[in-house]
Structure 1
Amino acid sequence: MSDVPGFGKALVIITGASRGFGRALALEVAARVDATGSVLILAARSDDKLHELQTHVTRVASELTVRCVTADLSRKEDVERVITVIRETQCADIDHLLLFNNAASLGDVSRYCRDFTDVDEVDSYLSFNVSSALCLTTGVLRAVPRRVGLTRVIINISSLCAIKPFASWVLYCTGKAAREMMFRVLAEEEPDLRVLSYAPGPLDTDMQLQARSSSADGCVRSACSGLHAQGQLLTCEASVSKLMKVLLEGNFTSGAHLDFYD
């Protein structure tokens, strides 16, 4: 795929890589880097699915170095393990650093705000969906400091829920809004970085199945079911393709929120 525009020699980190959007992202990115000298680091909770993906990626780019890190990012030690792998990765003279903060969970959408009384439950959700993204990003930027000729890009996989409330989705909306502001602050503080929050649109994934099956709010549940019934859900591949186009063209304001439909 030498005629496909790409990122040159790159270090790419993808969290939540074992399925859905993260999996599609890994396969697409593998085809858009210079396989010789590039490294793809895949992190997710499922060891089996990660190594299955690794096999598929090497079929796309046989010379690409692919490292899998089985990690539950709600755990401090697992976040630190991912960062350690990045520090130990030898990738001299890379053109791009790309970190895709994709790992996320919908949370319990079968309840409303008034039903969340367990602080530990909320803390656990925010640890996985917010805290880990901040600490992992910081660790990556320290491990791969800025230098002349290196473009460092931080991508937050966001959602419409970062800017619009959905009844019975208090955890998900809160987590996405917090991450959105977190990366806007990062863009403000670090002008040498390229930072983007990308909302991939309504995807045909397990998360969407959970949303249309379990949402307590009838209107939200009906809307999610309608998208599925009417064939309006996007494939992960179509959304990833849009994101690749945006990143390669680079015509976005650092810190911006971009939706698939923009």
Structure 2
Amino acid sequence: MSAAYLSGKVFLLITGASQGIGRQIAQSFAPLLGNDSLVLLIARNARGLQETADKLPRGLSVHTASVDLSTATAHELKDVINKVLGAAGAMQFEKAIVVHNAASIGDLTKSTVAMTDFNIWQEYYDLNVFSPAVLNGVFMEIFNDYSKVLRLVINISSYSAVQPYKFMGYYCSGKAAREMFFKVFAVENPNVNVLNYSPGPVDTDMLHAVHTYTSEAQDEDTKNLVKNRPVLTTEQTVIRLLEVLKLQKYKSGSHIDYYNN
């Protein structure tokens, strides 16, 4: 399977690439990239990043950066990208792709009326909303209109961005805010291809946390999040993501779920 946005000389940046869906995106996208493409993997876990890098084709230029995205400044993120671009800069590439995957699920024990700590809200939104927004701005500053590079932005969203679940106030609101940001970005930048991809319930540590919570809370609404839709492997959902990119039937900025026809 191939996708036009992955062919040719590509700069590919993936956050949250040390495990789960981020790692699988790296593994599935990398073999489709053209010669002299460059892959930048970002996450906090340096060991996990290296494990991901070791799984990628040796013909690619693969770089890792252990970064705490919840605290990194725009200046620091710009330095990370420019360091791997080198003197040739952005214009050496035909295409530039950024995958905003890094995320956390938040505290699953609190109802919305108990979520009264400003610091917890700040910490959650720093990683899950503010960080991808800032990184995206930095990415677009580097790969700007003058670079003549075809640009693709993929935000890994969630069904929870459009469907509320009890005791998931942090996660649902964060995913909704993050997705709406990228919808606004898409409207403002019609020359950039933007996809909000909801991967479905995937067998990851995050889903296991939901399972653990629901088994304790016995909340039927939240259990339906993982019961009514079959659990997928990371490979299954990324294959579907590649199909969506190949077909290009979506309007830029749209929310596309794994189970959409």
TM-score (norm: length of structure 2): 0.90
- Aligned pairs for 1:163-174 (under 5 A) are 163-174=162-173
Q: Structure 1 residues 84, 248: closer, same or farther in 2, change over 3 A?
A: farther
Give the Cα–Cα distance (whole angstroms) in 2 for the partners of residues 175 and 75 of structure 1: 17
**CA separation in 2, counterparts of 1:141 and 1:249?**
25
Which region of structure 1 is more displaced relative to structure 2, 191-200 or 218-227?
218-227
Q: Distance in 2 between matches of 1:76 and 1:123?
A: 14
Q: Could you tell me which residue of structure 2 aligns to residue 259 of structure 1?
A: 257
Per-residue CA deviation, residues 53-77 of structure 1 (Å, 9 max, x unaligned), is 11111xxx21201110101111034
Question: Which shifted more, 22-31 or 212-221?
Answer: 212-221
Please list every run of 5 or more consecutive structure 2 residues that lacks an aligned counterpart in the other structure.
Answer: none
Q: Offset of 1:147 from its aligned partner?
A: 4.3
SS in 1 for 2:63: strand
Percentage identity across aligned positions? Answer: 33
CA contact (8 A) 1:43 1:82 kept: no
Matched letter for residue 40 of structure 1 = V
In structure 1, the partner of 2:50 is 51
User: CA-to-partner distance for each residue in 1:99-142, whole Å, 9 max, x for gaps?
Assistant: 00000011001111111111001110001000001000000000
1:16 equivalent in structure 2: 16
Match for 2:72 among 63, 73, 76?
A: 76
Q: Which runs of 4+ in 1 moved over 6 A?
A: none
One-letter amino acid of the counterpart of residue 165, structure 2: F
Q: How many pairs are equivalent?
A: 252
Q: Specify the alignment match of 2:7 in structure 1.
A: 7
**Gap regions ≥5 residues in structure 1:** none
How big is the shift at 1:81? 3.0
The question of whether the paired residues in 1 share the 8 Å contact of 2:109 and 2:167 is answered with yes
Aligned to 1:137: 136
How many Å apart are 1:32 and its aligned residue? Answer: 0.9
Question: How many angstroms apart in 2 are the aligned matches of 1:147 and 1:250?
Answer: 24
Between the aligned partners of 2:225 and 2:250, the Cα distance in structure 1 is 29
Cα displacement string for residues 150-209 of structure 1 (whole angstroms, at most 9, x for unaligned residues) = 210111100111111111000000000001110110011111111110000010111010
Q: What secondary structure sits across from 2:171 in the alignment?
A: helix
Alignment of 1:92-131 (within 5 A): 92-131=91-130
> What is aligned with 2:241?
243
- AA matched with 1:69: A
Residue 49 of structure 2 aligns to a residue whose secondary structure is helix
TM-score by length of 1: 0.90
